[in-house]
């Protein structure tokens, strides 16, 4: 009897041949019946989709149909998986269907639909275009190709913007390293917003800079302070519109501002300082994240390529604050390269008046940031 034959052996008698033919016919009949049952379950709606998948799976396992017929089973199962939202399984089934029958247009369509649902636009475009090559008049495939192409164009545009933002940020991180700059956490973003330095075409850095009038916590914000500019250049530019506040403050003909009742903050009397050795130095990965904030690359997960990514530096604690006076004739880049200067996202300098009673308290390190 055929049922007693060893696996892989060939029939040697007419009886065994007849038995094998009977078994094959039964399995084929069973597979066709299961296929029809599966089709009926699909027509009955989503409550019966799992039963449809079970029928198609059992039909496939019969291994009794031709490649073309089995391709239809995989394609049908792909369809049901697509309806259930099992997109990965839908793609796998469609690919199996295509292997067995490369002319199965429905399999290409379903692979494209499932890929699109997973936002795998390149794969979706490939499957849809291959399907159209087989059936150039297929309206659904034509519509799908147009949809995918539009989304792919938008995706490519977004990716280009992300790549550009990442390149700009990496250039800045590299420039920081070349200059030996130490970047720290933001301190006054509520005053400046999310402002960042930029590199011009000559690789010269332009910084947003905050001048903070420590005595009254008034601030002045310079959006474009070229690193090659001296401090005196900016303090002397009283005619520019962006320096109206400084102009009013330092002009001899203008009255002092309301808080400067003693008219102490004249051009001749002010001095600039920075706080040395205070703050936390950030690793490159966190600096890169800061530079990507507010850009198309904001959601990029920066890879950790550094051996030591721990934050390090000095904290204010109870120690006396060390204020370092800035020589106004020096360039910005020379000052922010000082060993004790930690850039709190942007350079911050403190303005005090030699004529003010606050001056000695400030220089003695007895004043604390609020």
**Mind listing the pLDDT tens digit for each residue in 73-105?**
999 999 999 999 999 999 999 999 999 999 999
Query: Quick one: average pLDDT of 19-41?
Result: 83
Confidence category of residue 150, pLDDT binned at 50, 70, 90? very high
- What contacts 95, CB < 8 A, 6 or more positions away? 107, 111
Calculate ∠ Cα 158-160-163, nearest 5°: 110
- Residue 17 in any domain: the answer is yes
CA distance 168 to 173: 9
Please give the mean pLDDT across all residues of the chain. 85
Query: Quick one: average pLDDT of 116-139?
Result: 96
Show the DSSP H helices in the chain as ranges: 14-43, 49-61, 67-84, 87-100, 105-117, 121-134, 139-179, 189-192, 231-236, 244-250, 284-292, 332-336, 358-363
Q: Are residues 134 and 185 in the same domain?
A: no
Cα–Cα separations (whole angstroms), residue 263 to 65, 215, 269, 329: 98, 13, 10, 24
- Residue 368 in any domain: the answer is no
Q: Are residues 66 and 198 in the same domain?
A: no
- Residue 285 in any domain: the answer is yes
Given a cut of 60, whether residue 199 has pLDDT beyond it is yes
- Residue 171 in any domain: the answer is no
- Residue 149 in any domain: the answer is yes
CATH number of the domain bearing residue 25: 1.25.40.10
3-state secondary structure of 252: coil
- Residue 231 in any domain: the answer is yes
Residue 271: count of CB within 10 angstroms of its CB:
16
Identify which has the larger pLDDT, 28 or 320: 28
Query: Quick one: average pLDDT of 311-316?
Result: 43
- Residue 162 in any domain: the answer is no
Q: Are residues 336 and 244 in the same domain?
A: yes
- Residue 329 in any domain: the answer is yes
Identify which has the larger pLDDT, 257 or 288: 288
Query: Quick one: average pLDDT of 136-148?
Result: 96
3-state secondary structure of 238: coil
Query: Quick one: average pLDDT of 139-159?
Result: 95
Angle between helices 105-117 and 87-100 (to 10 degrees): 160
Q: Are residues 204 and 133 in the same domain?
A: no
Q: Are residues 258 and 190 in the same domain?
A: yes
Confidence category of residue 6, pLDDT binned at 50, 70, 90? low
CA distance 268 to 250: 9
Residue ending a domain, choose from 105, 133, 153: 153
Q: What global pTM score does this model have?
A: 0.71
CA distance 248 to 220: 12
CA distance 92 to 358: 75
Calculate ∠ Cα 26-28-29, nearest 5°: 65
Q: Are residues 116 and 38 in the same domain?
A: yes
* Longest alpha-carbon distance in the chain: 122
Q: Are residues 137 and 255 in the same domain?
A: no
Nearest Cα neighbor of 324 from 341, 308, 310 is 341
3-state secondary structure of 312: strand
Q: Are residues 186 and 45 in the same domain?
A: no
Nearest Cα neighbor of 144 from 174, 114, 173 is 114
Residue 3: count of CB within 10 angstroms of its CB:
8
Q: Are residues 191 and 146 in the same domain?
A: no
Q: Are residues 120 and 225 in the same domain?
A: no
Q: Are residues 357 and 220 in the same domain?
A: yes
Q: 41: which 2 tokens?
A: 């379950």
Q: Are residues 17 and 134 in the same domain?
A: yes
The length of the chain is 370
Q: 132: which 2 tokens?
A: 């159209």
Identify which has the larger pLDDT, 296 or 317: 296
Range of the domain at 11: 2-153
List the beta bridge partners of residue 312: 281
Identify which has the larger pLDDT, 132 or 247: 132
Domain count of the fold of the chain: 2
């Amino acid at each position: 009897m055929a049922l007693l034959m060893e696996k892989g052996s060939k029939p040697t008698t007419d009886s065994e041949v007849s038995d094998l033919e009977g078994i094959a016919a039964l399995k084929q009949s069973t597979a066709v019946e299961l296929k029809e049952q599966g089709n009926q379950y699909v027509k009955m709606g989503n409550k019966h989709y799992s039963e449809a998948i079970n029928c198609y799976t059992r039909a496939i396992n019969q291994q009794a149909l031709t490649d073309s017929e089995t391709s239809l089973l995989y394609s049908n199962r792909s369809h049901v998986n697509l309806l259930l939202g099992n997109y990965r399984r839908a793609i796998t089934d469609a690919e199996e269907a295509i292997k067995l029958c490369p002319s199965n247009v429905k399999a290409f369509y379903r692979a494209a639909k499932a890929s699109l649902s997973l936002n795998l636009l390149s794969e979706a475009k490939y499957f849809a275009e291959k399907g159209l090559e087989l059936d150039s008049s297929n309206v659904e495939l034509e519509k799908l190709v147009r949809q995918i192409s539009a989304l792919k164009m938008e995706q490519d545009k977004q990716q280009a913007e992300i790549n550009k933002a990442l390149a700009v940020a990496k250039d800045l991180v590299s420039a920081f390293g070349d200059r030996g700059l130490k970047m720290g956490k933001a301190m006054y973003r509520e005053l400046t917003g999310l402002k960042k330095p930029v590199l011009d075409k000559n690789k010269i850095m332009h910084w947003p800079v905050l001048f903070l009038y420590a005595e009254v916590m008034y601030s002045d914000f310079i959006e474009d302070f070229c690193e090659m500019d001296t401090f005196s250049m900016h303090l002397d530019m009283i005619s520019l519109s962006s320096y109206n506040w400084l102009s009013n403050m330092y002009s001899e003909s203008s009255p002092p501002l309301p808080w400067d009742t003693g008219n102490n903050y004249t051009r001749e009397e002010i001095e600039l300082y920075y706080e040395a050795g205070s703050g936390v130095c950030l690793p490159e990965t966190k600096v890169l994240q800061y530079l990507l904030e507010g850009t198309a690359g904001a959601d990029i997960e920066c890879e950790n390529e550094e051996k030591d990514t721990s934050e390090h530096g000095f904290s204010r604690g109870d120690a006396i604050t060390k204020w370092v006076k800035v020589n106004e004739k020096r360039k910005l880049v020379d000052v922010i390269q000082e060993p004790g200067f930690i850039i709190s996202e942007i350079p911050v300098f403190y303005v005090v008046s030699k004529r003010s009673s606050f001056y000695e308290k400030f220089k003695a390190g007895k004043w604390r940031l609020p």
